[in-house]
């Protein structure tokens, strides 16, 4: 094939001995044409990132290395060129942007100096000319007031601005290829939409070929020209975006796409008249600083939640949706009394939980339980699964035998083998651990389950399973659920009602159908407009429901 | 720890050859201390023969000192003292340090301020000088030496444990215990402590070596328990005759060197085996 920018042929990347599989990347063939965006999609462990890193020569040596195959760039094979040549190519001809711009930028150098470095290493230019080019670049990526940002340090910029600065750096020398490794995963949806737009715009303007690594089919639908789907280190399907997204051939691709939650809210259910939990005027202010008996620095105050009002009725799922820093987690933590709210009422069947002390709160603990976000941090690594689940009932005074029986029963309810009882958490995958976390929350027979981003750390196929499980147990155990999420697709599929939060304030509340059909608040409209791939309807609508 | 865990631990530990060697040496020293009464049934302070006999003469394997005491017997009996003091002092220091650090890290706020400022106060005085001072105030005895060593060693443990508690108390699994209504004591002992045992064991094992050094230093200066034979005392006694009878100082000195080295190797081995993040280093 000619006219390709990059050709990857039969690439094998070997993992160190004793790993789960021999190759992280196996028999991978990919090509990238100029002025094309190729999206490499896959779940965690599919080898998509290592493929990108192999192109840059950035594999974590000496454990992981290219064993076979070629990466042809122009006349050269990148798996064979020397380090000196590779350094030349990096940055000037192939450049890369990373997931987390905060760690990819040097925190003690100004943005301007970091862009300047790129020019100094790769091009001969005077100091003044370099400065001018840097300012122009920052302007190109639509950063406000480039002259001021050039002297700013990374921590002074927002996440989106940092990613823009990274992109400016990556594009400084007009590379032929841009490799983007999950560049928007750490960003909020509205920022993500802007960054995607920017990448597309710059790519078209410079004829750059973009190798875009992502796990999100919505993002793929928004920007891809061509798509390659990876599973277990192999490319299982590759083709034009339209073909892969709308007429997938490989069963794995079909499963993945079917697992993407639809943006069309599911059918509304009858709403019960009985309120279970009412939150009124909830306000929480975080204070920091002031250490050493109050003699330290000045105290800083951040209002994380301001006069939040929510109502949860029996059997319904209330979604709290918002971007990072909107205060949605704070509200959840105040409701389960992990944090103490400063003002307001948290009424469970009419009795206010907010003023209760630890001892007085204990009988109510069983009524409200929480499912946490990170399945790896939420289980004690040194405690056996059976004990983790049985702990709650034991504390609440049940007999050990009864608590253990209940734990075994719960393992079955959440779809795990009873043999899991005597194992340690590290023997389970992320999705299975989340099931254990759910079982722990259910052990006390709660009435209200507060789930704080329960699926955002999981791959999309596992995510679908956990959402289905949550739905199932809600109906089976007649739970009411508060579901915190940043993902509107997920919210559309699990929530009956949605409260949208921003800067600690609930800007809009309504039934899921209403909010998606006819959002009232401007911010809700922005959020909905920013959902990646909103014009693309996955082939199967009944994926979750 | 179950047997299966122990086997796993040993597999990891075994990969570090110098740590295995350290463990073997340490086992030999412990055996020496345990059999001291069997091989050297007499009081090590007893005058056993001609003074200043060089090694392997006059019935002395390692020679005798200026008063005719058997150096080999002194080393064997001294091993007991050194190991005992090292172990007990470390246990006391780790126990107290973990308590202070745990409370400070878990509760934070003014409790943290109070406990950590106290800890810092102890850290401002150079530890050996502080130990001398403490032993001089109390009268020199095996108990006062243990107390002195523990008092100068606990702040390091407290700081370590505080850091671990601080990072663990906000982990989701600990918060999950709060939502279950678990009491603070149970969360601290049952949930957080097991998760920071590894660094505590590693530090503790290294502290034994330091404790032995401090003890030797104290007895060298004549602040040891006068009724108990120890390596530091032997060196102190032989120091004046270093040029005419080199063996009196040299052999106890080597004993200290080898023991401290062995314990450090074992500590390093523990660190490699217990700290999963460092396992990939080799």
Determine what percent of chain A is predicted with pLDDT higher than 90: 20
CB B203 within 8 A of CB B156: yes
Contact A338 B191 (CB under 8 A): no
Rounded Cα–Cα distance for residues B61 and A361 (Å): 72
Rg of chain B on CA atoms, in Å: 22
For residue A378, which residues of chain B lie inside 8 Å, CB to CB? 171-173, 176
pLDDT for residue A260? 87
Reply yes or no: is the peptide bond before residue B234 cis, omega within 30 of 0: no
pLDDT, one tens digit per residue, over A469-510 is 988 888 888 899 999 998 888 999 889 999 999 988 999 999
- In degrees, rounded to 5, the angle at the alpha carbon of residue A304 between the alpha carbons of residues A163 and A154 is 25
Contact A391 B180 (CB under 8 A): yes
- Reported confidence tier of residue B282, pLDDT bands at 50, 70, 90: very low
A226-231 β-sheet, strand order: A94-97, A177-181, A209-214, A37-41, A226-231, A234-240
Task: Please determine, for residue A61, whether its predicted confidence score (pLDDT) is greater than 80.
Answer: no
**Nearest residue in A to B193, CA atom:** A382
Average pLDDT (A147-165) is 86
- Reported confidence tier of residue B170, pLDDT bands at 50, 70, 90: confident
**Nearest residue in A to B115, CA atom:** A292
Half-sphere exposure of A514 (CA within 13 A, CB side): 11
**Nearest residue in A to B117, CA atom:** A292
CB B71 within 8 A of CB B248: yes
pLDDT for residue B131? 93
In this structure, of A156-160, A405-409, B147-151, the range with the lowest mean pLDDT score is A156-160
Task: Please determine, for residue A141, whether its predicted confidence score (pLDDT) is greater than 80.
Answer: yes
Q: Which of A63, A362, A372 sits opposite B176 (nearest CB)?
A: A372
Rounded Cα–Cα distance for residues A410 and A436 (Å): 9
pLDDT for residue A298? 66
Name which of B173, B184, B185 to mutate to probe chain A: the one with the most chain A Cβ atoms within 10 A of its Cβ. B173
Task: Please determine, for residue A293, whether its predicted confidence score (pLDDT) is greater than 60.
Answer: no
The one-character DSSP state at B57 is: B
Average pLDDT (B256-274) is 88
- Reported confidence tier of residue A227, pLDDT bands at 50, 70, 90: very high
Contact A365 B194 (CB under 8 A): no
Name which of B180, B184, B277, B281 to mutate to probe chain A: the one with the most chain A Cβ atoms within 10 A of its Cβ. B180
- Is residue B123 less than 8 Å (CB to CB) from chain A? no
Q: Which strand (E) or helix (H) includes residue A528?
A: helix A522-530
Report which of residues B57 and B80 the model is more confident about. Answer: B80
Name which of B114, B181, B186, B188 to mutate to probe chain A: the one with the most chain A Cβ atoms within 10 A of its Cβ. B181
**Nearest residue in A to B168, CA atom:** A377
pLDDT for residue B279? 47
Question: Please, which residues have CB within 8 angstroms of residue A451's CB and are 6 or more apart in sequence?
Answer: A370, A371, A470, A481, A482, A483, A484
Task: Please determine, for residue A5, whether its predicted confidence score (pLDDT) is greater than 70.
Answer: yes
- Is residue B191 less than 8 Å (CB to CB) from chain A? yes
- Is residue B113 less than 8 Å (CB to CB) from chain A? yes
pLDDT for residue A3? 74
pLDDT for residue A47? 86
For residue A381, which residues of chain B lie inside 8 Å, CB to CB? 195
pTM for this predicted structure: 0.81
Determine what percent of chain A is predicted with pLDDT higher than 70: 96
pLDDT for residue A436? 92
Contact B182 A391 (CB under 8 A): yes
**Nearest residue in A to B5, CA atom:** A382
Give the pairing type, strands A448-452 and A368-371.
Answer: parallel
Average pLDDT (A49-78) is 85
- Reported confidence tier of residue B151, pLDDT bands at 50, 70, 90: very high
Task: Please determine, for residue A354, whether its predicted confidence score (pLDDT) is greater than 80.
Answer: yes
B29: its two tokens: 């020293």
Q: Phi and psi dihedrals of A368, rounded to 5? A: -120, 120
Rounded Cα–Cα distance for residues B211 and B194 (Å): 25
pLDDT, one tens digit per residue, over B189-221 is 988 998 888 889 889 988 998 999 999 899 888
Contact B180 A444 (CB under 8 A): yes
Top-confidence range, A76-90, A94-108, B1-15, B163-177: B163-177
Average pLDDT (B150-165) is 94
For residue A373, which residues of chain B lie inside 8 Å, CB to CB? 172
A314: its two tokens: 């029996």
For residue B171, which residues of chain A lie inside 8 Å, CB to CB? 377-378
pLDDT for residue B2? 65
pLDDT for residue A545? 35
Report which of residues A200 and A2 the model is more confident about. Answer: A200
| Positive or negative torsion for Cα B239, B243, B248, B250 | positive
pLDDT for residue A297? 62
Task: Please determine, for residue A440, whether its predicted confidence score (pLDDT) is greater than 80.
Answer: yes
Give the pairing type, strands A76-77 and A65-73.
Answer: antiparallel
A185: its two tokens: 């995963």
For residue B173, which residues of chain A lie inside 8 Å, CB to CB? 377-380
pLDDT for residue B281? 44
For residue B186, which residues of chain A lie inside 8 Å, CB to CB? 395
Q: Which of A292, A361, A378 sits opposite B176 (nearest CB)?
A: A378
- In degrees, rounded to 5, the angle at the alpha carbon of residue B239 between the alpha carbons of residues B237 and B245 is 95
**Nearest residue in A to B194, CA atom:** A382
For residue B172, which residues of chain A lie inside 8 Å, CB to CB? 372-374, 377-378
Rounded Cα–Cα distance for residues A161 and A143 (Å): 7
The one-character DSSP state at A422 is: G
pLDDT for residue A1? 44
Alpha-carbon distances of A395 from A208, A370, A372, B172, rounded to whole Å:
61, 16, 20, 18
- Mean pLDDT over each residue of chain A, to the nearest integer: 86
For residue B180, which residues of chain A lie inside 8 Å, CB to CB? 365, 391-392, 395-396, 440, 444
| Residue found under tokens 């089919």 | A217
Give the residue numbers in A contacting B (CB under 8 Å), as ranges.
63, 291-293, 336-338, 361-362, 365-366, 368-370, 372-374, 377-383, 391-392, 395-396, 437, 440, 444
Task: Please determine, for residue A67, whether its predicted confidence score (pLDDT) is greater than 80.
Answer: yes
Helices (H), B54-196: 71-107, 109-124, 127-137, 142-168, 172-179, 184-186, 193-195
Name which of A295, A380, A436, A456 to mutate to probe chain B: the one with the most chain B Cβ atoms within 10 A of its Cβ. A380
Rounded Cα–Cα distance for residues B76 and B84 (Å): 13
A385: its two tokens: 């699964």
Contact A370 B179 (CB under 8 A): yes
Report which of residues B45 and B278 the model is more confident about. Answer: B45
């Amino acid at each position: 094939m000619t006219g390709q920018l990059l050709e990857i042929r039969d690439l094998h990347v070997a993992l160190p001995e004793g790993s789960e599989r021999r190759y992280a990347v196996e028999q991978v063939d990919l090509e990238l044409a100029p002025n094309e965006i190729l999206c490499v999609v896959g779940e965690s462990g599919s080898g998509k990132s290592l493929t990108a890193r192999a192109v840059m020569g950035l594999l974590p040596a000496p454990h992981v290395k290219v064993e076979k195959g070629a990466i042809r760039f122009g006349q050269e094979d990148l798996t064979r060129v020397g380090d000196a040549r590779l350094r030349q190519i990096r940055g000037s001809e192939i450049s890369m942007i990373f997931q987390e711009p905060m760690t990819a930028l040097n925190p003690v150098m100004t943005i301007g100096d970091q862009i300047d470095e790129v020019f100094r290493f790769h091009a001969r230019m005077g100091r003044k000319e370099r400065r001018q080019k840097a300012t122009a670049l920052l302007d190109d990526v639509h950063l406000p007031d480039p002259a001021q940002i050039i002297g700013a340090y990374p921590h002074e910029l927002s996440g989106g601005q940092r990613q823009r600065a990274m992109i400016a750096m990556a594009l400084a020398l007009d590379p032929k290829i841009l490799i983007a490794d999950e560049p928007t995963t750490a960003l909020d949806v509205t920022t993500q939409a802007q960054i995607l737009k920017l990448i597309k715009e710059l790519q078209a303007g410079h004829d750059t070929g973009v190798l875009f690594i992502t796990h999100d089919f919505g993002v793929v639908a928004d920007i891809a020209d061509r798509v390659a789907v990876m599973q277990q280190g192999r490319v299982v399907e590759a083709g034009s975006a339209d073909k892969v997204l709308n007429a997938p051939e490989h069963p794995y691709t079909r499963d993945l796409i079917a697992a993407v939650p639809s943006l069309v809210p599911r059918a509304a259910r009858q709403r019960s008249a009985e309120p279970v939990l009412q939150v009124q005027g909830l306000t929480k202010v975080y204070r920091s600083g002031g250490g050493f008996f109050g003699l330290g620095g000045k105290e800083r105050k951040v209002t994380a939640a301001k006069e939040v009002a929510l109502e949860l009725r029996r059997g319904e799922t209330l979604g709290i949706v918002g971007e990072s820093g909107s205060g949605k987690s704070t509200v959840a933590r105040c409701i389960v009394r992990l944090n103490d709210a400063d003002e307001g009422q948290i009424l469970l069947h009419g009795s206010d939980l907010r003023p209760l002390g630890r001892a007085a709160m204990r009988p109510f603990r069983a009524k409200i339980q929480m499912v946490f976000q990170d399945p790896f941090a939420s289980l004690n690594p040194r405690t056996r699964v059976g004990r983790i689940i049985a702990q709650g009932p034991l504390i609440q005074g049940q007999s050990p035998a009864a608590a253990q029986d209940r734990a075994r029963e719960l393992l079955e309810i959440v779809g795990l083998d009873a043999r899991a009882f005597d194992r340690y958490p590290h023997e389970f995958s992320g999705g299975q651990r989340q099931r254990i976390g759910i079982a722990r929350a259910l052990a006390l027979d709660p009435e209200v389950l507060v789930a704080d981003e329960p699926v955002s750390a999981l791959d999309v196929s596992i995510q679908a399973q956990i959402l289905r499980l949550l739905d199932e147990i809600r109906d089976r155990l007649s739970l009411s659920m508060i579901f915190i999420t940043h993902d509107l697709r997920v919210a559309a599929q699990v929530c009956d009602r949605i409260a949208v939060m921003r800067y600690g304030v609930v800007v809009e509340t309504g039934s899921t159908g209403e909010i998606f059909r006819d959002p009232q608040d401007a911010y809700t409209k922005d959020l909905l407009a920013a959902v990646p791939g909103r014009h693309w309807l996955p082939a199967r609508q009944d994926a979750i429901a | 720890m179950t047997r299966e865990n122990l086997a796993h631990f040993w597999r990891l530990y075994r990969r570090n050859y110098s740590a295995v060697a350290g463990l073997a040496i340490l086992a030999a020293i412990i055996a020496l201390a345990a059999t001291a009464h069997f091989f050297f049934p007499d009081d090590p302070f007893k005058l056993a023969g001609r003074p200043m006999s060089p090694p392997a003469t006059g019935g002395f394997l390692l020679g005798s000192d200026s008063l005719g005491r058997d150096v080999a017997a002194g080393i064997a009996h001294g091993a007991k003292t050194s190991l005992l003091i090292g172990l007990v002092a470390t246990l006391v220091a780790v126990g107290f340090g973990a308590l202070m650090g745990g409370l400070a890290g878990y509760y934070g706020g003014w409790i943290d301020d109070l406990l950590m400022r106290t800890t810092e106060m102890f850290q401002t005085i150079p530890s050996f000088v502080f130990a001398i001072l403490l032993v001089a105030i109390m009268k020199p005895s095996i108990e006062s030496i243990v107390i002195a060593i523990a008092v100068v060693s606990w702040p390091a443990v407290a700081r370590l444990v505080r850091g671990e508690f601080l990072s663990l108390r906000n982990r989701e699994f600990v918060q999950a215990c709060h939502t279950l209504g678990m009491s603070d004591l149970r969360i601290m002992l049952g949930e957080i402590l097991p998760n920071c045992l590894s660094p505590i064991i590693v530090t503790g094992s290294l502290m034994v070596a330091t404790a032995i050094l401090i003890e030797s230093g104290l007895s060298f200066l004549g602040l040891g328990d006068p009724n108990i034979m120890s390596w530091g005392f032997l060196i102190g006694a032989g120091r004046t005759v270093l040029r005419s009878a080199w063996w009196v100082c040299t052999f106890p000195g080597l004993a200290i060197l080898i023991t401290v080295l062995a314990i450090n190797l074992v500590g390093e081995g523990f660190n490699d085996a217990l700290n999963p993040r460092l396992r990939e280093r080799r």
